Amino acid sequence: MPDDNADRIAPIEQPVAVVTGATSGIGRWIALGLARAGYHVVLVGRDRVRAEAAQAWIAAQVPEAGSEVVIADLSLLAATRAIGAQIAARHPHIALLINNAGAFEAQPVTTAEGHDRVLAINLLAPFVLTRALLPALRAGAPSRIVNVGSSTSDHAHLDPDHLVLGKRWTMVRAYGQSKLALMMTTFALARRLQGSGVVANVVHPGLVATGLVRTGGIIGLAWRCMAPFALTEEQGADTPLHAALAPEFAAVSGAYLKNRRAVSPNRQARDPALVERIWAATERLAEAGGARCA
């Protein structure tokens, strides 16, 4: 267990919600929304200063809210597994897991564990963290898992035998494919959880003016030009919060939401056999260590 996360927490009375990427962008507003809704929020971030700033920002607006900070670099699966075990040990009943952390990176980077970093953060970390928290989510049922995907998945194409892009890596392809794979593993999980009281859905938050795109070039320019027309971070949290809290989604599982409504996903995500192959490929990558991204 990382020393960073060794602080002790008193027993919790409120329902527990875990939010990744809670230090900035949409995730910070999701965490605030859950605190306002009466949840004890576990804020997962990679930087303690930013995480404690987000915690203080929430406490200033919702003084009665309980929260705690957990630190991990989610591009590293061992660290992700470790905080999953730590959170589950502290909270045997979890009501909500929001896998929001995500990355859209300009260059392929291979992590110390040998994974493509975009794939690790956007797909493998949610897979590993969800798996670690599943007993607590089952014990906390009715409970919900919300994975923050992206409409870039609408136009992506996946080959289950080549989840790792290698020489075909481009910024847009790596991001879009990771989000399509996240969607498909969400649907596979929803099928596995049928009847358990745990639902799993994937949402597109909209085009939101956040710090997600940290690059120059044509993509950075396009992002900056779109910013005035984009949603605010607070607005971007609306659909994830709707999936997490709205009574009409309490029993909906395996859905793709945009603008608070279930919509039709990418054709590949509607193919149950292909969904299962993506699940198996993700499981192999998550369990076996990395394959070089380039």
Ligand X SMILES: NC(=O)c1ccc[n+]([C@@H]2O[C@H](COP(=O)([O-])OP(=O)(O)OC[C@H]3O[C@@H](n4cnc5c(N)ncnc54)[C@H](OP(=O)(O)O)[C@@H]3O)[C@@H](O)[C@H]2O)c1
Applying CB under 6 A, which residues contact ligand X?
21, 23-27, 45-47, 50, 73-75, 100-103, 121, 148, 150, 204-205, 207-208, 210-212
* Strand, coil or helix: 146: strand
The distance of closest approach from Cβ of residue 168 to ligand X in the complex, given in angstroms and rounded to an integer, is 20
Is the Cβ of residue 269 or residue 277 nearer to ligand X in the bound state? 269
- How far is it, in rounded angstroms, from Cα 294 to Cα 291? 9
Q: Which residues are catalytic?
A: 175
Is the Cβ of residue 101 or residue 245 nearer to ligand X in the bound state? 101
Contact status, residue 143 vs residue 193, Cβ threshold 8 Å: no
Contact status, residue 38 vs residue 64, Cβ threshold 8 Å: no
Is the Cβ of residue 169 or residue 197 nearer to ligand X in the bound state? 169
- How far is it, in rounded angstroms, from Cα 99 to Cα 161? 25
Helix (H) or strand (E) holding 240: helix 238-245
The distance of closest approach from Cβ of residue 215 to ligand X in the complex, given in angstroms and rounded to an integer, is 12
Using alpha carbons only, what angle is made at residue 234 by residues 60 and 226, rounded to the nearest 5 degrees? 140
Contact status, residue 45 vs residue 51, Cβ threshold 8 Å: yes
Is the Cβ of residue 245 or residue 277 nearer to ligand X in the bound state? 245
The distance of closest approach from Cβ of residue 2 to ligand X in the complex, given in angstroms and rounded to an integer, is 13
The distance of closest approach from Cβ of residue 23 to ligand X in the complex, given in angstroms and rounded to an integer, is 4
Is the Cβ of residue 140 or residue 240 nearer to ligand X in the bound state? 240
Q: Exposed e or buried b for every residue in 223-257, given b needs 16+ CB within 10 A?
A: beeeeeeebebeebbbbbbbbbbeeebeebbbbbb
The distance of closest approach from Cβ of residue 194 to ligand X in the complex, given in angstroms and rounded to an integer, is 26
